[in-house]
Structure 1
Amino acid sequence: MTGPRLPLEGVVYADAAMAARYFAQGAWIDRKIDDQLRARGEGNPQDPAFICDDDVLTFGELDRRADALANGLLQSGLKVNDRALFQMGTTLDTVIAFFGCLKAGVIPVCTIPQYRELEIDQLATLTRPSAYFVQSDGGSFDLVGFAKHMARRRSIPRVFVAGGRGEPDTIGMSELSNSGDRMRRAVPTGSEDVAVLQLSGGSTGIPKIIPRFHAEYMGHVRLWCDRYRMRTGDVGIWALPLMHNAGMMFALLRTVIYGCTTVLMPRWDPARFFALIERWRVNHAFTIGPHAPAIAAFQDIGKFDLSSLRFFFTLQGASAIERATGVRATNMFGITEGLVLTSTLDDPPSLRHGTVGAPCSDFDEVRLLRPDSEDEVGPGEVGELCFRGPSSLRGYFAAPELSAECLTSLGFFRSADMVRRVELDGRVAYAFEGRTRDNINRGGEKFGTEDIERLIALHPDIADGKVVAMPDEVYGEKACAFLIQKPGRPLPSVEGLGLFLLERGLAKFKLPERIEPIDAFPTTRVGKLDRAALRTVIADRLGDKKVKL
């Protein structure tokens, strides 16, 4: 509890008095994440930590293999506080690479395999990585070739490949771990140092990078999982990206904090999902995005034994999941900037299904403010969710101006999410009502529209284009492009526009999935673009096909 031992330039840290208070009150845990793994590896070496495609990785084996990888990383020339881009899937190799980096003091930059030139270029500019982790079996897209191309373009000296076969200009992860040696000495970092650089979906094309710290991240996970009465030996299942904030909390950190087991699903399939729950006697299931309606709509649920399953938690669709499975489920709210709202197993359906719950930490302060002001809304009114607490953002990485825009004068983070405070059955909770900014949440992947619109403006047949969220029954939201065509030129098709954007490096999940021709964009009374009006137009045309809670 002495502050960061090796501060990283561009990071805003908690002051000493605040840190001491959080440690004393139990909101932070004074231990590094990799030290927590070491404790599990020594205390419970034979217990299963992660299971994937029938391969079982025990805590002892994970600790040993992460040690060996860390040694290899340091011998390759990496230093403490160097950054490493991650584009890896939901696999055991990702787990080992993640903990190996932490043991070496190398900071993972938590990207996803779906990112392409535009996103990786921006992230490399901001984080200046010294390494790049990918996997050779990432599907039809050549992630290894892409990583080699981006490494040359951005002068990233090392490309590490899981499952690699000695390709030129790369280093196989197995080559790094050949010695099998344990770490001879701990790296000189502490619990208040940066553990990972997470990413936030936002309303601009500029990546927003969020430092998460060992002590606060572990404390945040514990307070969240305590809501669900998590205990040693529990089994969870994870079928989403591991390096997301949600995957980091539920799969990676929860596993080592509680001594739990996590079943990983590299590829989503509802039948296999239920088969794995039955086989491994899963107790807790977390799902977001399109998985929730797929679970609720699966016709063969009755063929599987779900008696071990105690709780489902999801960002949306809890009521439908509970009806379909007979297992208690709750909606929740999570944001990488450091707040989780959720209900408990014992809360009535009115809370679990009708709201997103309440803060997990007694130290989290929540205020509902009027957009563009610091005035609180009245009782029952909808306001912008603003918060501060042990894990809340104090500043984006290397972005003081952006940080100032997103924080109030008292240090409350402005989420741009609109909620309403409600009281049900004697409990205070919050109901989600929408967003103020122009970001899109497509099945849990949040992204802004600025970079898409900038590329659309380059199209030879388009005079101007704006992109907004449109409702979708499966993904919650998708991108819709309102386009003004150039005189005498035809508008592109959805497929044609998508190909144009892909060729310029945009990630596929950001592509507009509908085009609406328009003669002029609506404006507000002060002459600004009225995006809310565009969202209303497309919602009306689609019949407001939102995912039902």
Structure 2
Amino acid sequence: MTGIRNPISGVVYTPADRAERYLADGAWIPSTVGDVLRATAARHPDKPALIGDERTVTFAELDGSSDRLAAALLALGLAAGDRAIFQMGTTIETVIALAACFKAGIVPVCTLPQHREVEIGELARQSGARGYFVQADFSRFDLVGFAVSMMERHPGLQHLVVARGGRSAGLALEDLIAAVPAETARDRLAGMPFGPQDVLTFQLSGGTTGLPKIIPRFHAEYLGHVRHLMGLYGMTADSRILWSLPLLHNAAQVYALVPMMLGGATVVLMPKVDIRRMLELIEAHRVTHALSVGPIAPQLMGYADIRRHDLSSLRLFATMSRADTLEEHIGVPCSNLYGITEGLLLGSPADAPTERRHRTQGTSGCPFDEIRLLEPGTETPVPPGQMGELCFRGPSSLRGYLDSAAANAGAFTSDGFYRTGDIMTAHVVEGQTCYAFEGRLRDNVNRGGEKIGCEEVEAYVSRHPSVADAKLVAMPDPVYGEKGCIFIITRPGMPAPDVQELGAFLTGCGLAKYKCPERVEVLDEFPLTRVGKLNKPALKTLIADMVAAESTAGAA
């Protein structure tokens, strides 16, 4: 723990000998995120760091505003190592607040504005947060009033900072910035008691159900993580990155915010997903990199007027799946990606072979990452070409969830590989081992004892010319126990296939007949969880209710 200046109870740190090796090998960067932002601002003071609908902020302005806010937070009584709940959207104020916390050593707890009493209460308890940041105009929901009520329930929450709102409660973010002169702020921040191996942020585990677990990330490892990612995707100081999803997600910080702070890239912020507006922003600001880790790609593939937009500046559009279809639709290089907040990022650059970009999720940009495919529930590697559970360890891999011995006990192999619960196959493409996502453990339909992998069927259904996106769930069946129901979003003006047509198409593709969905339902959009991920339990509930209602009507 010699390199850890400000230890936090419940955090599992990298052993000192391994941390020293990562620093010596260049896997970690021996700096803090605040210091690299200062260095970038010194190199590019007048360059746009952030472009929003309301204003553009240069690197010098971002550096100065975040210095002044950081000093103001310390003046309130917050200190390095304290935690702060964040419920803010995709705005410039969010970036300033995050950067200020990074500089003060205050650890953001990266929740979302959609979280409510259950999540915020539990995360406040787990993290021991003292600060609370909210955005007043995020939605019609009164986030400020909600925050006040949560602070009454959880007295450990002592300092409320409100962005983009009035002064009815809490401290206005802009007032805190204005109250501290720039020189005073720089003097106050000199010699802060934290360093590269200290905690940068508390991210949250993914998943579609249950309360999220807290994932500590650290300054040095996060910077190294992002440097390797930037190399993988060809991001430089000349890059312009479009981001339209929540800024508090780990994805936003590794794909957009830290590349801006570390490498000098410009980030174009879009507070809400709107495909036409997204394409207009790409045109107007000559965006070079765009990514989809949510519902963007299916909506983009359903956008009929794509040829009206000049996308020639785009060097790469990365998406979780179906890069081949997306590339055909938008006419620019696309690649599949894979990312997990626990510390692994897979992808492919724009000039990678088509087979790698379209048929796999790529490979890690970090040469120090170790990846294994194991038989689920064991530590036995699968034979070449066989599916196995993706397990990894490396410079940025999770060492343990915060204060969660029970979760940690089952999360790792005996030699420290993190078990993702995701099923992959390995493919060698031009001498490079790449990994193709095949599905998740337990995400299947058990049809009379035959297990049907949902992702496999979804991938085949999505090849149908009428289908923009598809999700398979289990529906109750009195004979088989479960059968498959496919929920479909169609392409504009295209009719959805019925069960017979879809079955013929799928078997024509080589899919086994028993895997074909036995019911088709059409939706305009899929339900999402509060963290913006697909809510499959909601789809399962929907079809179960439909089946029950039909059974009741039939018996009447």
Could you list the runs of 5+ residues in structure 1 that have no partner in the other structure?
Answer: 440-467, 485-504, 519-549
**Cα distance per residue 1:205-228 (max 9 Å; x no partner):** 242111100000010011011012
Written as runs of structure 1 = structure 2, the 5 A alignment for 1:423-462 is 423-437=428-442
Alignment correspondent of 1:307: 312
Superposition pairs of residues 534-545 of structure 1, within 5 angstroms: none
- Shift in alpha-carbon separation, 1:58–1:356, aligned structure 2, 3 A: same
Match runs of 1:285-296 below 5 Å: 285-296=290-301
Gap change, CA 1:438 and 1:354, over 3 Å in 2: closer
CA distance in 2, matches of 1:269, 1:203: 24
Deviation at 1:135, TM superposition (A): 0.5
- Show the 5 A alignment for 1:89-238: 89-155=89-155, 156-168=157-169, 170-181=170-181, 182-184=185-187, 185-202=190-207, 205-238=210-243
Q: Give the Cα–Cα distance (whole angstroms) in 2 for the partners of residues 154 and 42 of structure 1.
A: 41
Give the corresponding residue for 1:543.
Answer: none
In the alignment, is the contact (CA less than 8 A) between 1:288 and 1:316 conserved in 2? no
Deviation at 1:2, TM superposition (A): 4.7
Shifted more, 421-430 versus 507-516: the winner is: 507-516
The more displaced of 293-302 and 108-117 is 293-302
Inter-CA distance 304–33: structure 2 relative to 1 (3 Å threshold): same
Mapped partners of 1:333, 1:161: distance in 2: 34
The offset of 1:360, in angstroms, is 1.4
Helix, strand or coil: the match of 2:215? strand
- The residue number in structure 1 matching 2:502 is none
1:186 Cα offset (Å): 3.5
Q: Is the 8 A contact 1:210 1:397 kept in 2?
A: yes
**Aligned equivalents of 1:320 and 1:506: distance in 2?**
28
Of 198-207 and 21-30, more deviation after overlay is shown by 198-207
1:86 and 2:86 matched: yes
Task: Give the drift of 1:197.
Answer: 0.4
- Specify whether residues 86 and 437 from structure 1 end up closer, same or farther in structure 2 by C-alpha distance, changes over 3 A only: farther
Alpha-carbon distance in structure 1 between the residues aligned to 2:530 and 2:473? 13
Aligned CA distance change for structure 1 residues 480 and 193 (closer, same or farther; 3 Å): farther
Which 10-residue stretch deviates more, 425-434 or 404-413? 425-434
Unaligned runs of 5+ in 2: 445-453, 479-528, 546-556
Query: Could you tell me the TM-score, scaled by structure 1's length?
Result: 0.81
1:515 aligns with 2:542: yes
Alpha carbons of structure 1 residues 288 and 508: separation in structure 2 relative to 1, 3 Å: closer
What is the TM-score of this pair, normalised by structure 2? 0.80
Offset at 1:425? Answer: 3.5
How far is the alpha carbon of 1:400 from its aligned partner?
Answer: 1.9
Measure, in 2, the Cα distance between the counterparts of 1:244 and 1:31. Answer: 22
Give distance in 2, aligned partners of 1:68 and 1:370: 52
Rounded Cα–Cα distance in structure 1 between residues aligned with 2:139 and 2:285: 26
C-alpha spacing 1:424/1:9, structure 2 compared with 1 (3 Å) = same
- How far residue 475 of structure 1 moved from its aligned partner, in angstroms, is 7.0
Aligned residue pair count: 472
Aligned-partner residue type, residue 77 of structure 1: G
Within the candidate set 395, 398, 404, 2:403 is matched to 398
Distance in 1 between residues matched to 2:386 and 2:164, nearest whole Å: 53
Greater RCO, 1 or 2 (C-alpha within 8 Å, sep 6+): 1
Q: Give the CA deviation at 1:43.
A: 2.4
Q: From 397, 416, 420, give the equivalent of 2:421.
A: 416
Partner SS state of residue 431, structure 1:
strand
Check the 8 A contact 2:112/2:531 in 1, yes or no: no
Q: Displacement of 1:351 after TM fit?
A: 1.1
| Residue in 2 that maps onto 1:451 | none
AA at the equivalent of 1:61? E
Give how far 1:272 is off.
0.9
1:21 and 2:25 are equivalent in the alignment: no
Distance in 2, matches of 1:477 and 1:54, equals 37
The offset of 1:41, in angstroms, is 2.0
| C-alpha displacement of 1:42 | 2.3
User: Counterpart of 1:59?
Assistant: 59
> Mapping of 1:368-379 within 5 angstroms?
368-379=373-384
Alpha-carbon RMSD across the aligned residues, in angstroms, is 2.7
Q: Find the residue that maps to 1:187 and give its secondary structure.
A: coil
- Looking at structure 2, the residues matched to 27 and 214 of structure 1 have their Cα atoms a distance apart, in angstroms, of 12
1:334 counterpart residue number: 339
Q: Secondary structure at the match of 2:325?
A: helix
1:489 counterpart residue number: none
Is residue 85–residue 131 contact of structure 2 (8 Å, CA) maintained in 1? yes
Which residue is 1:532 aligned to?
none
- Whether contact under 8 Å (2:301, 2:468) holds in the other structure is no
Distance in 2 between residues matched to 1:206 and 1:271, nearest whole Å = 34
1:363 aligns with 2:390: no
Amino-acid identity (%): 45
Structure 1 CA distance for aligned equivalents of residues 310 and 118 of structure 2: 45
- Letter of the 1:172 counterpart: A
Q: How far is 1:438 from its partner?
A: 6.0
